[in-house]
Amino acid sequence: MKSITRFTRNIRGNRCLNCENDISEEDNFCSRCGQVNDLKKVSLKQYLSAYFDDFLSFDGRLLNTIATLIFKPGYVTKNYVEGKRMRYMNPFKLYLQITILFFLVVGLFKTIDRYKLENESSGNILSKLNSKDGVAVLDSITSETLKDLEENDIKIDTITLSAISTGIAKASQRVDSTKSKSKKRDQDSMLILPFVDSIMLAPGSLETFKLDDTYQKSKDSVMTGFLKAIDIKIESLLVEKKGIAVNDADPFNGGWIQISKKGALKKEALKHMDSIFKSNSIDYKISESLIRSTGSGWFENTFDKVKGFMEYQKEHPDVSTYMALDALDYEKNYWNVFLYSKSGDWNEAVEDPENYGAEFKDRILSRVSVALFFLLPLFTLVVSLLYLRRKFNYTENLVFVFHVQTVFFLLLLLFIIIGRIAHSKAIIWVFIVIFMIHLYMAMRQFYQQGRIKTLVKYIILNSAFMVMAAIGAIIISFIAFML
């Protein structure tokens, strides 16, 4: 092995600095641990030379390994397992270096994309269309467009004019649909109000609340009965009228929708109760702890808590977490602090899903490399079980998996670069086809089995990997959001 150290007598010693083994000043290396016999202090030149020699493998192993991996599927793994290793890089080290390079380049592209100019005009128009004056905006666009065409003596055929009119009509229908949904939501929320009136405005119902503060427990006791009755009524409304609209863009399904509807109706009921107290000059505030005590369970209470945090954080973005929990009458424990701290992320995800989605993807991407260190060894277990009758042990199967994954990142990086140059996203499908063919050929070469048997195991392995990747993606997404 060639050393980067100048083997001169004046910088050699007779004792190894690493293992303290006695050696001769004539020896270039320690016979026990292999360290260079060198007493000279590390210089910057020596350090950088050692680093690049190790990282880039100036002896040609890096390029030789990469070229053979790509153009001769399975050949490197087969030779490495058979003991022909000096011509190739260590599989784990190569995989690590390629993944680092991949994520660095992808991160660089993300940074470059942030400085691209965006067309703001379309966003402004869309925001106006979604406003209350959306129909007026559309009418204005229509009249101004037709006016400009007439002034400039631009003739358009009836087909083009019909297409323009159809597009504007569809946008107008969308605005009208939004308004109708909002109106329906208002009608639905009124369903609970007559019931609130029936229990609060009944003779004698408000008498307890007119007493002085010494009767606070009695007031809370009566209010607890009111709240429980309202909860029961809301449950019956949801059963009788499952089509109650609560939120146009409700992101939840199934039970989540029911919880959301219940929370919205209860919120309307509480607002109406406060208005009744004010109209009767009663100074009583329904405490948050009392509202929570009448909830249906931990899950629904947590859901309502999160929604309350999101609403409060939206209205008071500058209030600290501890002050917010004080104002909302919540205990200052780790769970509540965590939920309130995440309310900002939840609000951003709801209000600006496009920007939040891009940021969230970056968070996930930054954790993929770490997740793969856990996923690949687990996937190797599947490979080992599938080839249990073959002569390869777990470590040799792991070498195959590392080589395959290295090729995956190499090809993906190459096609990402090509796609950016060609301004085409469809190039990714070419990558998928090439990699899948490469994987099949690698399995054939390394495991030396017939085409049909390899194809069956190829399908099983890909299916297993997709399942594990899906589970891993869910876990990573959860961690990325929570951290």
Q: pLDDT (tens digit, 0 to 9) for every residue of the chain, 483 residues total?
A: 444 444 454 577 788 888 888 888 778 788 888 787 777 666 666 656 665 665 554 456 888 899 999 999 999 999 999 888 888 888 988 898 888 888 888 888 877 877 765 544 444 544 444 554 555 555 555 565 555 655 665 555 555 556 555 555 555 555 555 555 455 455 555 667 888 888 888 888 888 888 887 788 888 888 888 888 888 887 777 665 544 444 433 444 444 555 567 767 777 888 888 888 888 888 888 877 777 666 655 555 666 677 777 777 777 878 888 788 877 777 777 777 877 777 777 777 766 666 666 666 666 666 676 777 788 888 999 999 999 888 889 999 999 999 999 999 999 999 989 988 888 888 889 999 999 999 999 999 999 999 999 999 999 999 998 888 888 878 877 776 666
Q: How many Å apart are CA 175 and CA 131, to the nearest integer?
A: 8
In which region does residue 287 sit, left (phi positive, over 0), alpha (psi from -120 to 50) or beta (all else)?
A: beta
pLDDT at 273: 87
DSSP state of 2: -
Question: CB–CB of 57/85 below 8 Å?
Answer: no
* pLDDT at residue 169 in the model: 59
Cβ–Cβ < 8 Å for 419, 50 = no
Q: Distances in Å between the alpha carbon of 297 and those of 292, 301, 339, 340?
A: 9, 6, 17, 20
Q: Are 66 and 410 in contact (CB under 8 A)?
A: yes
What pLDDT is recorded for position 155?
A: 56
Residues 47 and 39 sit within 8 Å (Cβ to Cβ): no
The per-residue pLDDT for 247 is 43
